[in-house]
A and B are shown apart, each in its own frame.
Chain A
Amino acid sequence: MSIVTVQLGQCGNQIGFEVFDALFSDSHCTQGLCSKRENEAYRSSCKERFFNEEENGVPIARAVLVDMEPKVINQTLSKAVQSSRWKYGQRSCFCQKQGSGNNWAYGYSVHGPRHEESVMNLIQKEVEKCDSLGGFFIIMSMAGGTGSGLGTFITQNLQDQYSSSLKMNHIIWPYGTGEVIVQNYNSILTLSHLYRSSDALLVHENDAVHKICAKLMNIKQISFNNINQVIAHQLGSVFQPTYSEEGSFHYRRNPLGDLMENLVPHPEFKMLGVRDVPRMSENSLAYSTFTWAGLLKRLRQMLISNAKMEEGIDWQVQPPLSRLPTLGKRSLSEQLRFNTSIANLVVLRGKDVHSADVAGFKDPALYTSWLGPDNAFNVWTTQRAFSKYEKSAALVSNSQFLVKPLDMIVSKAWNMFASKAYIHQYTKFGIEEEDFLDSFTLLEQVVASYCNL
């Protein structure tokens, strides 16, 4: 089944390019450490999901590019042309001359309705090219105006027009130090609206990815390109083909559907995060070897101690012995030292994958009292190595990992809202104080639900 990607705004378009490039390079990598036949099955499975074949044999990304300024889209298109291995469709872009000025309301209430028909037509054309539509993958940031505001608007439209298709929003969480003064407003409006119209929110935090670039990849001058490549690698390690079940050599047909069924069936818990091991610069990779036991031990500790990368893991954190409710007795920060999971999905790729033992993730103490590991834990595997890593493991987790950043954003936005700062910029375009209050209520409810697991 195929996935149609919608790239929105500067951030969404730049990441989208890196994602397709990572998927393409990995599926055409000759170092897959598996038989030629298996490599071909893997490649064709990847292609069915993410690429269309044109007559001259150059794969075309199943993507729609949307931005309100032409600059980034032009750059993205020309980068794809330069790669000369894959490209975007000739008529799959939509851009305008004037951006959204980092104003969610402008993207949502002005650009959205004005360009609704054109954008939805582009998406429909892309959908018609799929024999079977698995769902939508919508890449956007939540700090700015176009990606966040227009992205939210488009997601709601997809929910209306393709109500039974799956929708996953990939959201870039802004730096805590902030690029935009109203980023917290934009963020709460985005998150609260998406919580109603999307099936899952897969979140990448800029701060965390930045640290990975600095500490693990040893990059001195970190650019958005570096950050986007790390994100693309993590997404690839989740969405590249895996076997449909244990012992089978057929690849999974509907990764988006399976992932959502495993991780986000509950309507109040839709936040997903990704972690992966190992992670290092290409130079170090050549001199390193790994064991499954070591990788999985680190990944598990990253999960329970809520570490975003391998370096600086707190090995002191252990699952609590009893799972009595501790509601209200400890402060938020104390409560969250141990990261409780609702559900986890581990994706293992590479040599001897059948020998990997995931028992550490099946410990009931990792999960809530109302969902045991049988329901809460799943593992996907393939022998095919991913992107030059002989062995690699990724973890998609629906856990408390975002409670703190979310709580932070909500309270910062609330402080600004309480002093009525910048509100007029939103009311001017039809987003009333009532809408803000609804967003606060919903997100505080989300924080509370995640806290009281």
Chain B
Amino acid sequence: MGRRRRRVDRAGGAGALPEAIASLSRTLPGGPSPETFRRAKFDRPEAAPALWRLLFCVLSQLRAGGAPASPAPEAQARWVKSELLSQGYPRQGLAQLPEDGSRGSRELLLALSWLLARQPLPERLLAQTRVQLGDEMPVCECDILASPGLPAPRAEADGPVDARHLQWLMGKLRFRWRTLMASQQEQCALLGKIHWYTRGCHSDRRLGHLSVAETELLRDPESGRQLLRRLESENARLEAALEWRHREAVFWPWMDTVLGSCPPEAPQPASVPRPCELGAEELERQLWALQEELRAAVEARRAAWEARVGGRGLEWSVAQRATQEAVGQELVALRQAWERGGDLAQAHGPCRLVRTEAGVPAGPGLQAAQAIRVLQSREACLEETLRQLQAQCQQQLARLAGALPSLIWILPPGR
């Protein structure tokens, strides 16, 4: 009886916090020691580099290959800032931090806890980095399309640029694209061979054949040992994640004290709300208020705008109508694309590639033919857009050419 009470006391007592943080740290990729977290609470500069690294690892793993392998610390910091901004991180303190990692550990700790609070972070990280035995393929491009990528280095040309240089670079890009196509086709052909030669070898009847990783295991015992090591480390992270879920309750009050020790930001952010703490009614009320605010702002803007352009008359209203039509068309196209892709709405993320014998009734998974159809319709949409843009460019060129009657325009051969 007495022993049990002591353990309960310990769980809520002084040792509980470091243990909770330690378990969190173990679930995160390259997580720092609890001591780093403690120092960050007091905004000690020496904790900052480790936290920048941690945020970079976490965010780039969430992106699954979206970030460059391991850029310089400054580039890492820039990337972390832009990534957090694109996810809607509200505090401005982070954006103002220097990128050399010299200070700001408390801001970074707040950013990390914001990520933890708004999504089941350890679970998502584990899902991204789990050991894969099957041959997987993404069926959608949502992630890539949604990714802002690294802020592109903006190269301003010193002087006029020779169009031939641009054509050269464009051509190079085209060749690279074709090379990529060729290697993808090669990969598919080889995958197909492996699946064909190993048919009937898999213990799982639904799969029937082996994947590349499984074939590799049979060929090379060393890769089996490597796989074992990777599975063990994944297990350790899973256990740590479980532990974190048990102990998380002591972490959040502590984070409140961290937030409390912050000097208030100019427009005070509405703390770091955990969505589940606010009731549905409260959220609805907030949403309604925001919508009202938006409506008022839009009306004021529109009134001001119309007052300004009112004098232009007919020409203006023609342009306005054209814009409205263009927007309308685009909306229709988007809606159609959405409806056509509707049956695939749930199929996101990677799928395991499985070859089925011809004539065998299809299993529960997604059929390749179905996925291809969706991609083809998407391709057709994109090509239509490309054609429209090209036509616009040609019109523009023709207009320019018309302005210079002494010039003859000859289109380049080919293409």
Interface residues, chain A, CB within 8 Å of chain B? 1, 131-135, 164-166, 192, 195-197, 254, 257, 260-261, 264-268, 368-371, 375, 441-442, 445-446
Once the chains are docked, how many angstroms separate the CA of A134 from the CA of B179? 8
Of A166, A195, A265, chain B has the most CB atoms within 10 Å of the CB of A265
A267 contacts B175, C-beta separation under 8 Å: no
Asked whether any CB of chain A lies closer than 8 Å to the CB of B295, the reply is no
CB-CB under 8 A for A260 and B164, given A197-B414, A267-B414, A268-B413:
no
Once the chains are docked, how many angstroms separate the CA of A227 from the CA of B414? 32
Asked whether any CB of chain A lies closer than 8 Å to the CB of B182, the reply is yes
CB-CB under 8 A for A267 and B412, given A371-B165, A375-B168:
yes
Once the chains are docked, how many angstroms separate the CA of A264 from the CA of B172? 8
Residues of A within 8 A of B168 (CB): 265-266, 370-371, 375
B412 contacts A133, C-beta separation under 8 Å: no
Within 8 A of A (CB), among B398-415: 410, 412-415
Residues of A within 8 A of B175 (CB): 166, 257, 260-261, 265
A261 contacts B185, C-beta separation under 8 Å: no
Which of chain A's residues has its CB closest to B164's CB?
A: A370
Asked whether any CB of chain A lies closer than 8 Å to the CB of B246, the reply is no
A166 contacts B186, C-beta separation under 8 Å: no
- The secondary structure that dominates the B interface is helix
Which of chain A's residues has its CB closest to B181's CB?
A: A164
A132 contacts B182, C-beta separation under 8 Å: yes
Residues of A within 8 A of B415 (CB): 267
A132 contacts B185, C-beta separation under 8 Å: yes
Of A1, A261, A375, chain B has the most CB atoms within 10 Å of the CB of A261
A164 contacts B413, C-beta separation under 8 Å: no
A164 contacts B178, C-beta separation under 8 Å: yes
Q: Mark B144-177, 1 if CB is under 8 A from A, else 0.
A: 0000000000000000001011011111101110
A266 contacts B171, C-beta separation under 8 Å: yes
Asked whether any CB of chain A lies closer than 8 Å to the CB of B190, the reply is yes
Residues of B within 8 A of A265 (CB): 167-172, 174-175
Asked whether any CB of chain A lies closer than 8 Å to the CB of B183, the reply is yes
Once the chains are docked, how many angstroms separate the CA of A370 from the CA of B168? 9
Residues of A within 8 A of B303 (CB): none
Asked whether any CB of chain A lies closer than 8 Å to the CB of B189, the reply is yes
What distance in Å separates the Cβ of A259 from its nearest Cβ neighbour in chain B?
10
Given contacts A133-B182, A165-B182, A166-B178, 17 further A-B contacts (CB under 8 A): A132-B182, A132-B183, A132-B186, A133-B185, A134-B182, A164-B182, A195-B413, A261-B175, A265-B174, A266-B168, A267-B167, A268-B164, A268-B167, A268-B413, A370-B168, A375-B168, A445-B413
A131 contacts B186, C-beta separation under 8 Å: yes
Once the chains are docked, how many angstroms separate the CA of A131 from the CA of B191? 11
Which of chain A's residues has its CB closest to B183's CB?
A: A132
A257 contacts B170, C-beta separation under 8 Å: no
**Which one, B162, B176, B193, B413, contacts A369 given CB within 8 A?**
B162
A196 contacts B414, C-beta separation under 8 Å: yes
**How many residues of B are in contact with the other chain, CB < 8 A?**
27
Interface residues, chain B, CB within 8 Å of chain A? 162, 164-165, 167-172, 174-176, 178-179, 181-183, 185-186, 189-190, 193, 410, 412-415
Which of chain A's residues has its CB closest to B166's CB?
A: A370
Residues of B within 8 A of A260 (CB): 175
What distance in Å separates the Cβ of A367 from its nearest Cβ neighbour in chain B?
11
What distance in Å separates the Cβ of A255 from its nearest Cβ neighbour in chain B?
11
A370 contacts B413, C-beta separation under 8 Å: no
What distance in Å separates the Cβ of B394 from its nearest Cβ neighbour in chain A?
17
What distance in Å separates the Cβ of B376 from its nearest Cβ neighbour in chain A?
16
Once the chains are docked, how many angstroms separate the CA of A446 from the CA of B414? 12
Once the chains are docked, how many angstroms separate the CA of A192 from the CA of B193? 42
A131 contacts B169, C-beta separation under 8 Å: no
Once the chains are docked, how many angstroms separate the CA of A197 from the CA of B172? 17
Once the chains are docked, how many angstroms separate the CA of A197 from the CA of B165? 22
Once the chains are docked, how many angstroms separate the CA of A196 from the CA of B412? 9
Which of chain A's residues has its CB closest to B163's CB?
A: A370
Once the chains are docked, how many angstroms separate the CA of A132 from the CA of B165? 32
What distance in Å separates the Cβ of A112 from its nearest Cβ neighbour in chain B?
20
A195 contacts B414, C-beta separation under 8 Å: yes
B182 contacts A268, C-beta separation under 8 Å: no
Once the chains are docked, how many angstroms separate the CA of A375 from the CA of B186? 28
Residues of B within 8 A of A197 (CB): 414
B413 contacts A196, C-beta separation under 8 Å: yes
Residues of A within 8 A of B193 (CB): 131
Residues of B within 8 A of A254 (CB): 179, 182-183
Once the chains are docked, how many angstroms separate the CA of A1 from the CA of B180? 12
Once the chains are docked, how many angstroms separate the CA of A257 from the CA of B175? 7
Once the chains are docked, how many angstroms separate the CA of A164 from the CA of B176? 11
Once the chains are docked, how many angstroms separate the CA of A441 from the CA of B185? 38
A257 contacts B178, C-beta separation under 8 Å: yes
4 closest A-B pairs (Cβ-Cβ)?
A265-B171, A132-B186, A370-B162, A261-B175
Of B167, B172, B175, B413, chain A has the most CB atoms within 10 Å of the CB of B413
Once the chains are docked, how many angstroms separate the CA of A442 from the CA of B413? 7
Residues of A within 8 A of B410 (CB): 441, 445
A267 contacts B162, C-beta separation under 8 Å: no
Which of chain A's residues has its CB closest to B179's CB?
A: A257
What distance in Å separates the Cβ of A199 from its nearest Cβ neighbour in chain B?
8
CB-CB under 8 A for A261 and B172, given A132-B182, A132-B186:
yes
Which of chain B's residues has its CB closest to A442's CB?
A: B413
CB-CB under 8 A for A1 and B165, given A261-B176, A265-B171:
no
Residues of B within 8 A of A446 (CB): 413
* 12 pairs, CB–CB < 8 Å, chain A vs chain B: A165-B182, A166-B175, A195-B413, A254-B179, A254-B182, A261-B175, A265-B168, A265-B171, A265-B172, A267-B415, A268-B412, A446-B413
Once the chains are docked, how many angstroms separate the CA of A192 from the CA of B414? 10
Once the chains are docked, how many angstroms separate the CA of A133 from the CA of B171? 20
Residues of A within 8 A of B162 (CB): 369-370
Residues of A within 8 A of B170 (CB): 265
CB-CB under 8 A for A132 and B189, given A195-B414, A369-B162:
yes
Which of chain B's residues has its CB closest to A444's CB?
A: B410
A266 contacts B164, C-beta separation under 8 Å: yes
Once the chains are docked, how many angstroms separate the CA of A307 from the CA of B193? 50
What distance in Å separates the Cβ of A410 from its nearest Cβ neighbour in chain B?
14
What distance in Å separates the Cβ of B374 from its nearest Cβ neighbour in chain A?
21
Once the chains are docked, how many angstroms separate the CA of A234 from the CA of B253? 76
Residues of B within 8 A of A268 (CB): 164, 167, 412-413
Once the chains are docked, how many angstroms separate the CA of A261 from the CA of B165? 14
Residues of B within 8 A of A370 (CB): 162, 164-165, 168
Residues of A within 8 A of B412 (CB): 267-268
Residues of A within 8 A of B178 (CB): 164-166, 257
What distance in Å separates the Cβ of A8 from its nearest Cβ neighbour in chain B?
21
B183 contacts A261, C-beta separation under 8 Å: no
A267 contacts B183, C-beta separation under 8 Å: no
Once the chains are docked, how many angstroms separate the CA of A420 from the CA of B164? 37
CB-CB under 8 A for A267 and B189, given A195-B413, A261-B176:
no
Which of chain B's residues has its CB closest to A375's CB?
A: B168
What distance in Å separates the Cβ of B350 from its nearest Cβ neighbour in chain A?
24
Residues of B within 8 A of A131 (CB): 186, 189-190, 193
A1 contacts B413, C-beta separation under 8 Å: no
Once the chains are docked, how many angstroms separate the CA of A166 from the CA of B162? 27
Once the chains are docked, how many angstroms separate the CA of A403 from the CA of B209? 58
Once the chains are docked, how many angstroms separate the CA of A165 from the CA of B174? 12
Once the chains are docked, how many angstroms separate the CA of A261 from the CA of B414? 17
Once the chains are docked, how many angstroms separate the CA of A260 from the CA of B174? 11
Residues of B within 8 A of A442 (CB): 413
Once the chains are docked, how many angstroms separate the CA of A80 from the CA of B26? 66
Of B168, B189, B415, chain A has the most CB atoms within 10 Å of the CB of B168
A257 contacts B171, C-beta separation under 8 Å: no
Residues of B within 8 A of A133 (CB): 182, 185
What distance in Å separates the Cβ of A300 from its nearest Cβ neighbour in chain B?
23
Once the chains are docked, how many angstroms separate the CA of A369 from the CA of B164? 10
